[in-house]
Amino acid sequence: MTDHPGRRPLIGVATCAAAPDLDEDGPLLVSALTDAGADVRVGVWDSEAVSWPEFPVVLVRSTWDYPLRRAEFLDWTRRCRRTANPRDVLAWNTDKRYLDDLAAAGVATIPTIFLDPGQPLRATGTPRATP
């Protein structure tokens, strides 16, 4: 994971502006990677202050703001030299319709209704009476 033998491998950890220091278990991740000998740098995925192509590998971690900007997020993954999860897996997983794929493969999933952006939600079933 390093371009320079003898140096600590450099790992970028991507997050979002709402969690610039990662989530509550982020410090455990950074500590574990550091203890394993890596040089870890955390950055906001869409920040122009971070040069993601310079990282030999990027771990996508807390990029929670991607749903409203999915195309931009996927474009960002293509600009990274390498992501820890393959780009096609990230693309598949960021469209929550992957749950249908899992269900079709026999994996137990929570019943889900998918709506296209702007599509109104229509109530189904009989509403429960409130006490």
- Sorted by where each begins, the domain ranges of the chain are 10-104
Q: Is the pTM of this model over 0.75?
A: yes
CATH of domain 10-104: 3.40.50.20
Structure tokens at 91: 């693309």
CA-based nearest residue to 8, from 55, 51, 78: 55
Dihedral of the CA atoms 73, 33, 24, 70 (nearest 10)? 10
- 96's torsion region: left (phi>0), alpha (psi -120 to 50) or beta? alpha
**Reduced DSSP (H G I as helix, E B as strand, rest coil) percent helix, strand, coil of the chain, to 5:** 30, 15, 55
Full pLDDT tens readout for the chain, 131 residues: 445 556 899 999 999 999 999 999 999 999 999 999 999 999 999 999 999 999 999 999 999 999 989 999 999 999 999 999 999 999 999 999 999 999 999 999 988 888 887 888 877 655 455 44
Q: Provide the b/e sequence for 74-86 (b: ≥16 CB within 10 Å).
A: eebbeebeebbee
The tokens 């889900």 sit on which residue?
Answer: 112
Q: Find out whether 25 and 17 touch, Cβ atoms under 8 Å.
A: no
